Amino acid sequence: MHLLFYLIFLNVQPAPMTLFDFTPKSDVSDWRTVDDTVMGGRSDGHFRLNEDGHGEYSGRVSLENNGGFSSLRYRMPTIRIEGKTKVRIRLRGDGERYQFRTKTSDYDRHSYVTYFETSGEWEEIELELQTMEPQFRGRSLNMENYPAEMLSEIAILIGNKKEQDFKLELDWLRLE
């Protein structure tokens, strides 16, 4: 805490923390997709490392059988992230809206959620951690927003209440 105060006093920002940097040799085995099939839906998401060394999340969201979402999750050993105020992601989307989600512990059932739009071009998006609201199964919870102290999982979810194909390429994710 004293170091953070000192850095703020000197107007020095703590160094960015890379959560994942995709390269042609990246091990993406800890990334997994979870679709609405866990509750009977028919959506189908896939994740792979593409020829350019980017993480590629793609598939189809189906509303069939009360479905409607696909998610990509990366669980990591829980880390301290105090002093970090935003996540920055370099990505290329498909013009659709996605959710960025975090968990503070392996034991959390709820996630903290914010949204981002993609342009279809390579871009860096910046999301403020303090604006991430707690949700469980798409419902808001009466809790404080993300405390940004601990991090154990990040996720990207697409679920726009419509049938759609999707494709999102990831270059890197950082906390700043």
Q: Give the model's pLDDT for residue 62.
A: 98
Q: Give the model's pLDDT for residue 156.
A: 98
How far lies 112's CA from each of 1, 3, 169, in Å? 24, 27, 22
The residue extents of the domains of the chain are 16-175
pLDDT band at 5 (very low <50, low <70, confident <90, very high): low
Cβ proximity of 43 and 36 under 8 Å: yes
Q: Give the model's pLDDT for residue 15.
A: 87
Q: What is the DSSP letter of 145?
A: P
pLDDT band at 6 (very low <50, low <70, confident <90, very high): low
- Mean pLDDT, the chain, rounded, equals 93
How far lies 120's CA from each of 34, 44, 66, 133, 147, in Å? 24, 21, 28, 26, 31
- Identity of the residue numbered 43: S
Q: What CATH fold (topology level) applies to the domain 16-175?
A: Jelly Rolls (2.60.120)
